[in-house]
């Protein structure tokens, strides 16, 4: 099968996986496409919620007998543990899939990983297919796992009068991809109401003052893997100091010549660099990520 068929299918699987953003935690967002032996898509799916079918199970169910001798294209290593749902590596073996293409290894594999078990069963496994593109969706989940705290995005508005909380209309649009939204001046809510089953993610009872470490630990323990953080600069400052903010979204309606920040920084805190911009109806949305000295000069 030409490799372009596999990469096309992986790009589709990555897109599907993104539909799980904001609802799969503490599980990862994963997408899967099944190709028959001629390279035709015969099944696809994505993981939506912990406790419900994994991406591979959805895709195999759709493919039925047409999966035999075909290729499963998955954004993350198929799981090897039987939990609330059967192990995906076994489902792929049972369906007699001949090849499996995986983008990224699952660091939570318990014991021997799904890939090793598939290979032992005679399945041809290719790993690292479009890994960087798959990371666009599952990367924050992987980072959260490594750091043992939610991948945290800070959002604020920059206007002629200084830094303030993100615009509520914009927030309505942006919050759906996050497991939870924590406004340091008032509330903690699920990103998309009812997106998670209450038995798999529970928001802790947090009270000010918010110590970054214990706050993020409590959220992680509750199942939160992605967090949108809001609040005035003085309340956000400890989170910046403790380097627990991974990404920043700045909504700017700045007027030139109006710089009068009292936060100690102009538009981005030290240690962050721009990655992209979007022009909106009312201004600009700027995205930034944390950098360290070794990556400061890398685009
Ligand atoms: Zn699975």
More confident residue, 280 or 146: 146
At 291 the pLDDT is: 86
Most trustworthy range by pLDDT among 66-80, 102-116, 246-260: 66-80
Residue 143 is assigned to a structural domain of this protein: no
pLDDT surpassing 90 at residue 299: no
Q: Which of 163, 190, 128 is nearest to 249 (CA)?
A: 163
Residues around the ion ligand 1 (C-beta < 5 A): 54, 79, 88
pLDDT surpassing 60 at residue 297: no
Q: How many CA atoms lie within 13 A of 257 on its CB side?
A: 0
Q: Which of 115, 138, 161 is the last residue of a domain?
A: 138
Q: How far is the CA of 149 from the centre of ligand 1 (A)?
A: 23
Residue 73 is assigned to a structural domain of this protein: yes
Residues 283, 187 within the same domain: yes
pLDDT surpassing 90 at residue 167: no
Residues 157, 197 within the same domain: yes
Domain count, the chain: 2
State the alpha helices, DSSP H only, in 78-148. 88-94, 114-120, 131-147
What CATH number is given to the structural domain containing 223? 3.40.430.10
Range of the domain at 270: 148-295
Residue 82 is assigned to a structural domain of this protein: yes
Residue 224 is assigned to a structural domain of this protein: yes
Helical axes 131-147 vs 3-18, angle rounded to 10°:
40
What CATH number is given to the structural domain containing 40? 3.40.140.10
Label residue 101 exposed, middle or buried (CB < 10 Å: 0-12, 13-18, 19+): buried
Q: Which of 74, 104, 138 is the last residue of a domain?
A: 138
At 257 the pLDDT is: 67
Q: Which of 87, 105, 138 is the last residue of a domain?
A: 138
Residue 261 tokens read as 């920040």
Residues 122, 198 within the same domain: no
Of the ranges 13-17, 81-85, 123-127, which one carries the lowest mean pLDDT score? 81-85
At 256 the pLDDT is: 74
pLDDT per residue as tens digits for the range 257-277: 655 556 667 789 999 999 999
Residues 12, 37 within the same domain: yes
Residues 207, 132 within the same domain: no
Q: Say whether 56 is catalytic.
A: yes
Most trustworthy range by pLDDT among 174-178, 230-234, 258-262: 174-178
pLDDT band at residue 184 using 50, 70 and 90 as cut-offs: very high
Mean pLDDT of 284-288: 94
pTM of the model: 0.92
Indicate which residue of 56, 77, 190, 251 is catalytic: 56
Residues 31, 108 within the same domain: yes
Q: How far is the CA of 71 from the centre of ligand 1 (A)?
A: 16
Residues 205, 133 within the same domain: no
Mean pLDDT of the chain: 91
Residues 64, 165 within the same domain: no
């Amino acid at each position: 099968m030409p490799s372009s068929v596999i990469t096309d299918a992986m790009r589709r699987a990555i897109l599907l996986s993104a539909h799980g953003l904001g609802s799969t935690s503490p599980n990862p967002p994963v997408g899967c496409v099944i190709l028959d032996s001629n390279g035709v898509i015969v099944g696809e799916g994505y993981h939506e919620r912990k406790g419900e079918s994994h991406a591979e199970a959805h895709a195999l169910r759709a493919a039925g007998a047409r999966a035999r001798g075909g290729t499963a294209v998955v954004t993350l290593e198929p799981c090897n543990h039987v939990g609330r749902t059967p192990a995906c590596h076994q489902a792929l073996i049972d369906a007699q899939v001949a090849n499996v293409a995986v983008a990224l290894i699952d660091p939570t594999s318990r014991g021997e990983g799904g890939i090793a078990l598939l290979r032992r069963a005679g399945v041809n496994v290719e790993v690292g297919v479009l890994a960087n593109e798959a990371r666009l969706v599952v990367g924050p989940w992987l980072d959260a796992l490594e750091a043992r705290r939610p991948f945290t995005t800070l959002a604020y508005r920059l206007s002629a009068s200084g830094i303030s909380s993100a615009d509520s209309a914009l927030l309505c649009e942006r919050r759906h991809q996050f497991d939870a939204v924590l406004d340091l001046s008032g509330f903690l809510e699920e990103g998309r109401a009812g997106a998670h089953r209450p038995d798999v993610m529970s928001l802790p009872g947090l009270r000010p003052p918010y110590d970054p470490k214990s706050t993020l630990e409590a959220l992680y323990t509750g199942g939160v893997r992605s967090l949108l953080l809001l609040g005035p600069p003085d309340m956000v400052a400890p989170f910046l100091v403790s380097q627990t903010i991974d990404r920043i979204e700045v909504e700017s309606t700045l007027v030139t010549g109006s710089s009068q920040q009292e936060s100690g920084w102009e538009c981005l805190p030290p240690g962050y660099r721009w990655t992209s911009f979007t022009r909106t109806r009312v201004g600009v949305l700027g995205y930034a990520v944390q950098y360290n000295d070794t990556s400061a000069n890398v685009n």
